[in-house]
Each structure stands twice: as structure tokens, then as C-alpha cells.
Amino acid sequence: MAQVIRVCMLNADTPVPAVVVERTPTYGGIFHHLLSSAASNIAKSSEFPKGPITVASTDFNVVKNEYPLSLAEFDAIVISGSAKSAYDDLPWIHKLGRWLKHTYDHEPRVKIFGSCFGHQIVCQTLLKDYGVKVEKDAKGWELGVKEITLHQGFRRRFWNGKDEGRGQGVGEKLRLQFVHHDHVVIPEMEALPRSWTLVGNTQHCAVQGMYEPGRVLTLQGHFEFDRFVNRETIKFFFPNWQPKVLEEALDAIDADDDSIQAAEMVVRFFLEDSGQKYSAMHKGVRHALSSRE
């Protein structure tokens, strides 16, 4: 019997015009395509022998205050990137923060995934009581394909102590497209709840994502962006950059990435607690949470 992952796509922006014309009018549409392909790949593997896995998604424009009336029909939430900042004093951003906090507190069944701006507003909203905040990065923009070093604690928790990450193409490193100048700041990792762990870091950015088993996964990078999407995004937003600076950024974009592996990682997160493998994984996680990684 087919398993359907029902995803609530919260669009915090729209793609630039060239992407709308060539691909899709929403970021949710881009996410849907990649997550659907990832779900199909996972269903064909021996690790989840329960038949087809499909993704059904519904788009909501949170900038226009569009939200589902209920989350009863959804298994997961995806918060997209945005040209705005999580700390901007805008009514729709404040509402999104309140909605995410309510969802986290009252809908424990629903997984939460955030990309770039989504990563930042999730961390700012759910971890602000522990000093976590979002601010402009003094080092400037992180652009193009960059290599993330995945932290051992995250890999151990996510893969239940096994080296399945390598078996599925996700090992110690993960290359993603980037375009951001804000970053998440965590004053003291040891002050965070023990259930949370850092996903990894790049040379430029120390917080490349956060993970709470069965609840939250975030990534600073854009696995939903490819060369075309990131190139057109930068050309649209930064037309007045010096030619040499723009050329260097476009060169950094024109590189191979691991978007397929990252999409499969997100689908596996959505499938946590589904089937024997994922139940076993959570037993391992609960044991691991008895001490700080």
C-alpha cells in the first residue's frame, strides 16, 4: 500500500521572474519536485520495503497570511527561503513566528523543516529562550556551492549510530547552494535542550542547521536551488554588483552539489517513526539523549 507524505508548503517569498517562467511560480513547487523524486528513490531501496512513497503538497503564501485551517491533513511543514530577514519588523513575519511556536507546542505529530530563512525563523522562534538569535553576518555573503561538514553527533542521531549516511550518499560532507547574509547565532550549545543538536558547519557559517529527532530539521543551504535557480536569483537581486564580484559569485554557483542526497535526508526525516527501522532509530536517539553528544 502506498504511503503518502502530506506536506504543508509555507512560501515566504516567490521565485524571481526567470524561475517563475522556466520552472514554477512557487518555491513549494520546487520543493515538491525534489521531495517526490527523493521519496520514489527511497521507496525503491531495501531499507523501506513497504511499497511506494509519494508526496502530496499544498502551497500557502504566508506573506499574504495564507495558512491551513487545520494541520490534521498534513504530516510535515516546509518553510521556504525569503529575501526578508527573520528579525524584520513585519506583521507577516511576527505571525509566522507565532504560528510556528503554536504548531511546535500543540502539534507534536507534525514535522517542521526550514530552509535558509525557514531555518533562521525556526531557530529564532523555538530557541530564543536559550539566547539563540538571527543577525546579519559580519563576514558578509555566503554564495554558491559550499561544503558542509556534518557533525558527528548529528550523523549518529540521525542514522542511529550506523554508517547508513555513506551508504545513501550522505557522509561527513554535504555540498549545497547558498545565498545568504544572515546567520543563526548560538551563544552556548550546552545551554540548549539535550534533544537538539547542530547539523554542521561551513568555513563561513558555524550553524548550518539544527535537528531535533522526530520534530525539527533545518538547513541554512538551499537544496532546492540548482545552478539555474541560484544564478537567476543573484542576477535579479544584485544587478549593480561590480562585474568581477558578480562573476566570482556566478562561478561559485556553477558547481556540482548534493541536492538529491539532501532531499532524501529530508524525506527520511519526514518518515521518522514510520516502520520498524525508524522506531528502532528513535530508541537509539532516546538512549543517546541521556548524555550530551
The CATH code of the domain that includes 191 is 3.40.50.880
pLDDT at residue 270 tops 50: yes
pLDDT at residue 36 tops 60: yes
Longest dimension (CA), the chain: 55
pLDDT tens-digit series, residues 195-228: 999 999 999 999 999 999 999 999 999 999 999 9
Domain count, the chain: 1
E strand or H helix at 61: strand 53-61
Grid cell 562561478 is found at 251
Read off the pLDDT of each residue in 14-43 and give the average, rounded to a whole number: 97
* Positive or negative torsion for Cα 85, 220, 25, 110: negative
87 lies in some domain = yes
215 lies in some domain = yes
112 lies in some domain = yes
Contact 62, 26 (CB under 8 A): no
Read off the pLDDT of each residue in 87-100 and give the average, rounded to a whole number: 98
10 lies in some domain = yes
293 lies in some domain = no
Those residues whose C-beta lies under 8 Å from the C-beta of residue 126, and which sit 6 or more positions away, are 100, 101, 104, 216
Contact 147, 268 (CB under 8 A): no
pLDDT at residue 290 tops 50: no
Q: List residues bridging with 149 in a β-sheet.
A: 173, 201
pLDDT at residue 149 tops 80: yes
**Structural domain boundaries, residue 43:** 3-288
Q: Give the β-pairing of 182-185 and 133-136.
A: antiparallel
Strands annotated E in 107-229: 111-115, 133-136, 142-150, 173-180, 182-185, 197-198, 200-201, 210-212, 216-219
221 lies in some domain = yes
Q: List residues bridging with 76 in a β-sheet.
A: 7, 111
Read off the pLDDT of each residue in 253-279 and give the average, rounded to a whole number: 83
Give pLDDT, residue 159.
Answer: 79
18 lies in some domain = yes
226 lies in some domain = yes
Q: Nearest-CA neighbor of 220 among 187, 183, 252, 172? A: 183
Q: Nearest-CA neighbor of 189 among 197, 180, 178, 177? A: 197
Q: Is 285 exposed, middle or buried (0-12, 13-18, 19+ CB in 10 A)?
A: buried
